Amino acid sequence: MFDGLTDRLSGIFDTLTRRGALKESDVDAALAEIRTALLEADVALEVVKNFIAAVRTEAVGQDVLRSVTPGQMVVKVVHDHLVETLGGGELGAAEAGLALSSPPAAILMVGLQGSGKTTTSAKIALKLTKQEKKKVLMASLDVYRPAAQQQLQQLGERTDVPVMAPVMGEQPRAIAKRAMDTARREGYDAVILDTAGRLHVDQELMTEVADVRDIAGPSETLLVADAMTGQDAVNLAREFEHKVGITGIVLTRVDGDARGGAALSMRAVTGKPIKLMGTGEGPEALEAFSAERIAGAILGMGDVVGLVERAKEVVDEEEAEKTAKRMMKGQFTLEDMADQLKKLRQMGDLSGLLGMLPGAQKMKQQIAEANVDDKTLAHQEAIILSMTRRERQNPKLLNGSRRRRIAEGSGTSVQEVNRVLKQFKQMSQMMKKAGKMGKRGLAGMMPPGMMPGGMPPGLR
């Protein structure tokens, strides 16, 4: 989401940090460029003004300009104020997560049509049931959009979360009351109320949402906003906060090519925290919003914590330990390699994962030249899966005719098959060396949280 802003800021900070000493005029010149970069990223003007003023006050102080590394100190000042703008610090920590009152706690989902409310409702329901072991009921209050209620029912079936059955002609206020009554009677911990949206904010929408709020008494009223709407998202947040009252914000489509201004502006403008962000289309593609991590990503510092968390979701620790022991004995097979590729693909979009690595912005050209993407990983996995079990266990069997058969079966070329086998050989040699060095050596040769499902050979 922040690629453009990150590129601009990285260039500005590279210039600053290369200088041995800084003058006040150097800082002012850099801040002028940062101001332009933030405005181009759709950050609200009032937020930019306050941000630049706060950074300048601290950045031109004698402690910064006379420090051993003044350029790095300015970067730190910008980072700290980004965290503060995004809602970090002690207050941000206190606001993190969903605050559920005594059961049944209502979670009211509000926002414009097309922002992703229904999908986000299902994602939150899955998060609460899977991670927090809550009994959750979902209800669609959207009686206007064709098939809106059916969409939530389908998502409920997909996530295994109960959904209130629609009643012909029933209006949103009555649906909300029936959902809360059902939840009390059947012992639900939480009720997610997916309200209707409009193409724009109007009085009818706000009145309906306010009425539903009064009926349900929600512990959370979450505004779902598309990160790609830029300045409009900020105005939307201000309107909903003023007319309905929100407790938090959920940003959707942060994995897209949005410029990121909404995330930087909404917290500052409304005073309400961004609690969650949708990172993809899948039902589990929902992450807690972390000001510290997002600020680090914006400044090109990566998000190793996020990378490790994604790895933990797809790597079974007990199974990983068994695989690691076999690897250390030099028993690395093509089946292990296929498993690594599968786990990496399960972690999400490859370009997004690479962007979470520190310094990834500066390696864009090298990454592009490596020509490794999600399609490449899929081809590599398909090649291995086109082999027989015996061939995967003993690659020496793979003569010319077998390689041609595998290429045809996987829809690739013999050259690609040869490339995979060469990469496998390189990995096998690495594992043997790691085995001699011991477990610590193996851990040191792989990215954090990726053992043994480590980085595939095409990325090294």
Domain range summary for the chain, segments of one domain joined by +: 3-93, 99-301, 306-459
The answer to whether the 3-93 and 99-301 domains have the same CATH topology is: no
| Whether pLDDT at 55 is above 80 | yes
Q: Is 211 exposed, middle or buried, given 0-12, 13-18 or 19+ CB atoms closer than 10 A? A: middle
Classify domain 99-301 at the CATH topology level: Rossmann fold (3.40.50)
Confidence of residue 251 (pLDDT cuts 50, 70, 90): confident
Secondary structure of 40-102 in HEC code, one letter for each residue: HCCCCHHHHHHHHHHHHHHHCCHHHHCCCCHHHHHHHHHHHHHHHHHCCHHHHHHHCCCCCCC
Highest mean pLDDT among 12-16, 41-45, 317-321: 41-45
Residue range 4-15: mean pLDDT, rounded: 71
Minimal CA–CA distance to 450: which of 337, 288, 340?
340
Three-class SS of residue 453? coil
Structure tokens belonging to residue 327: 């690897």
| Whether pLDDT at 454 is above 60 | no
More confident residue, 312 or 167: 167
Structure confidence by residue, pLDDT tens digits, 349-380:
555 555 554 444 454 555 455 555 567 778 88
pLDDT of res. 304: 46
| Whether pLDDT at 381 is above 90 | no
CA–CA separation, 277 and 288 (whole Å): 6
| Whether pLDDT at 194 is above 90 | yes
Placement of tokens 């090298």 in the chain: 366
% residues pLDDT > 90 (the chain): 19
Name the least confident of 12-26, 312-326, 389-403. Answer: 312-326
pLDDT of res. 423: 82
Superfamily of chain region 3-93: SRP54, nucleotide-binding domain (1.20.120.140)
Confidence of residue 343 (pLDDT cuts 50, 70, 90): confident
User: Is 239 in contact with 201 (CB distance < 8 Å)?
Assistant: yes
Confidence of residue 269 (pLDDT cuts 50, 70, 90): confident
Placement of tokens 């309905």 in the chain: 244
Architecture of domain 306-459: Orthogonal Bundle (1.10)
Average pLDDT, the chain: 76
Strand order from edge to edge, sheet including 274-278 = 136-140, 190-194, 105-110, 220-226, 248-252, 274-278, 286-288
Highest mean pLDDT among 116-125, 338-347, 389-398: 116-125
pLDDT of res. 211: 92
User: Is 211 in contact with 251 (CB distance < 8 Å)?
Assistant: no
